[in-house]
Amino acid sequence: MRLGIDLDGVVADFNSGWIRRYNEQFGADVAFDSMVAWDGIPALTHFRHMGEFWEWAKDHDGHSLFRHLDTYDGAVDALRRLARAHAVVIITRKPGWATHDTFAWIAEHRLPTREVHITRHKWTVTCDLYLDDGPHVLEELVAMRPESIVCRFVRPWNDPVPGAEDISSWADFEEFVAARTP
C-alpha cells in the first residue's frame, strides 16, 4: 500500500519544538501540553496572530524552526517497519522558506521514503491510506479521496472527523495497517 504520512504533529513534534524555542528566547513558561487548539499559538504567546508567529519561525540559528524538531517516540521505528512492506509517502504542508530544512530534517532522521510532497492540497497525492492530524486536512482527504482510508492521529487539537479512523499511537497505526494488508 501507499501510506501518505504527514510530518508535523504526526512524525515531528512541532509543538514541543516551537514551545522549547519560544520559552528559551523569551523567558516564557508555556507548558508543553498547553496546545489544545489548531492555530492556538497566539493565545499562548505574545504573537498577535499566526502571521507574526510564522515570521518568528523563519530564522533559528540560520535555519527555520522546522529544522530543529524532535520526532515523536516510536515514529521513525514504526515507519521503518512499515516501509518493509509498504511505500511510505511523506505529504506535508510547509511555507516555501521551510522546504530545504524539511528535506534536511527528513534526511537527518533517515525517514524511509523515496517520495516527499510539500503541498497545500494533500489529497492531490494518491495514496491508499493517509495519516494526518490537521482537522481541515482530514476533512479534505475524506471528501476528496473517498476510495482511500483516512486516519486521524488523535491529538488535543483535533476532534473526530466523520469518515476518518482514529489512531492514538504508532503501535495502533502499525496494527491498523497490518489488519488491512492482503
The domain segmentation of the chain, as residue ranges, is 2-13+70-179, 14-68
Residue 101 phi/psi, 5° resolution?
A: -65, -30
3-class DSSP state of 36: coil
Q: Taking a C-beta distance cutoff of 8 angstroms, is the pair 102, 94 a contact?
A: yes
What is the pTM assigned to this prediction? Answer: 0.96
| pLDDT tens string 21-71 | 999 999 999 999 999 999 999 999 999 999 999 999 999 888 999 999 999
Q: Which three cell numbers stand for residue 35?
A: 496546545
Q: Which three cell numbers stand for residue 67?
A: 529544522
> Is CATH 3.40.50.1000 the classification given to domain 2-13+70-179?
yes
Q: Fill in the amino acid letter for 100.
A: H
Residue whose C-alpha cell is 492530524: 133
